[in-house]
Amino acid sequence: MILGHTLKNNVSFKMAGQSLLPYIRRVMIGMKLNNLFKSKIFGYITICAGIIGIGAQLVLILTFKDYLYGEGSSNPLELSGWNYLSFFTQITNIATAVWLLFFGVCRIAGAEAALRKITHPLLHGGITLSIFVVGFIYWGVLFWFIDLYPWNLWFGNLVDFWNHAFIPLSMTLFWIFYRDERKVDTKKIYLWLIYPIVYFVFSMVRGYFVNWYPYPFLDPNDEMLAGFGVNSYIIIAAAVVVLTGVFYGFGRLTMWIRNRRIKE
């Protein structure tokens, strides 16, 4: 009886230990990454990422101007970088790069007060949410319908990978493992929806005046929308509602991740 009881306790102890192992590993990984995030080395890394992010956009505009916007257009906007910079991806990546620059400078300078402002959950989470949606929409939807740059413009593919994969994944991991005792106020999720809604309005208004839209689902004159046999503006409105819902859903997930980690 005593032997059986002992074996039973040992088995229970091993099972409990095995169930705790994933949690312990997760905590240890989180602690190591958080130590990295708090180091000056990481500050230099984020500064480099910010410079690369902004520089890549500028190089792509200046180098591939004719390929991106076409030649011989009478509309000067089509030969400038404004069309390229009107994509949600580009605006969000530039905003992320600027955020990374500020984070890196504050981390290296030891400016803790400024660092707490730049990493405020609503700001940090909003940036993370937007860049995550960029990657999600690109790999989940757009990637299968677009053509890669030709081999002689290989740099464009590197920038696309940076914008749609590396930065979204890096920022998501940063948000998950960065230790911050401040919770995200779930009642303020509407603040994260302002940016995409303003962008949709901006794209429609600008598109009306320059006759150019960054995405087919925002272009009322697009042949694809006309093929549905429904007023194109109804389809555009539906697309905006769906995408806003995507932001809301992932926004709730973003808040849940931060608040759950604080409880651990």
Residue 187: HSE in the Cβ half-sphere, 13 Å Cα cutoff: 0
Tell me which of 157 and 191 has the higher pLDDT.
191
Per-residue pLDDT, averaged over 80-106, amounts to 88
pTM for the complete prediction?
A: 0.79
Percent of the chain, pLDDT > 70? 73
Instruction: Answer yes or no: is pLDDT of 42 > 50.
Output: yes
Question: pLDDT by residue (tens digit) across 222-235?
Answer: 777 766 667 788 88
Q: Reply yes or no on whether the pLDDT at 143 is more than 70.
A: yes
- Under the banding of pLDDT at 50, 70 and 90, the label for residue 150 is low
Q: What pLDDT is attached to residue 152?
A: 60
pLDDT at residue 6, rounded to an integer: 47
